[in-house]
Amino acid sequence: MPPLKSTSVLTAEARHAVSIVLNGTPRTGHAHPRLLLSDFLRHELGAHGTRVGCEHGVCGACTVRIDGVAVRACLTLAVQADGRRIDTVEGLSQGNEGRMTALQEAFRRHHALQCGFCTAGILMSLTDYLDRNPKPTEEELRDMLSGHLCRCTGYAGIVRAVMDVTGRTVREVAHV
């Protein structure tokens, strides 16, 4: 993905038009130059599926895909996303004829979520990661998941869900 930067001249006090393709649909909103992409999605466009936790890049709750690449929306300015495709958790089923994706179904089957606060970000990271690495080892998967904080699950269900959806049996990871 090319570097994220706005080509427009921005002024701090003005709200600037930001046009994105959100889950396949063109959307335009307005943002001050310092507005975070996470806040732009939630408050300007009403896309509340993206969660906001730490707001400084640690927890991973706000992860979305920009032009296919998983990115922390709390570390990205809305104006940097102008002209980009943004995919959020709402778009997963939209791209699957309205049904949950195999990964989402596996999360449900393996109780990979409890409060669900972290889940949207983890799903968006995983969809990018599994596109690039469709058969991760458990060690690779756990390394990837270390970029996400989940207070509820202990990660065991998440690991089982991903192993399941990538074609490995639950028994292989039954010791987690």
Q: Which residues bind ligand FES (CB under 6 A)?
A: 52-55, 57-62, 72, 74, 113-119, 150-153
Q: From the CB of 119, what's the least distance to ligand FES, in Å?
A: 6
Instruction: Give the residue with the Cβ less far from ligand FES, 118 or 165.
Output: 118
Q: CB-wise, 11 or 143, nearer to ligand FES?
A: 143
CB of 72 to ligand FES, least distance (A): 5
Give which of 41, 174, 31, 44 is closest to 120, Cα–Cα: 41
Strand ranges, E, within 16-62 = 16-22, 25-31
Q: How far is the CB of 9 from ligand FES (least distance, A)?
A: 28
Those residues whose C-beta lies under 8 Å from the C-beta of residue 160, and which sit 6 or more positions away, are 110, 112, 170, 173, 176
Q: How many CB atoms lie within 10 A of CB 138?
A: 16
If the CB atoms of residues 17 and 92 are measured against ligand FES, the closer one turns out to be: 92
- Residue 157 beta carbon to ligand FES: minimum distance, rounded to whole angstroms: 9
Nearer to ligand FES, 98 or 150 (CB): 150
| Residue 17 neighbours by CB under 8 Å, 6+ apart | 28, 29, 30, 82
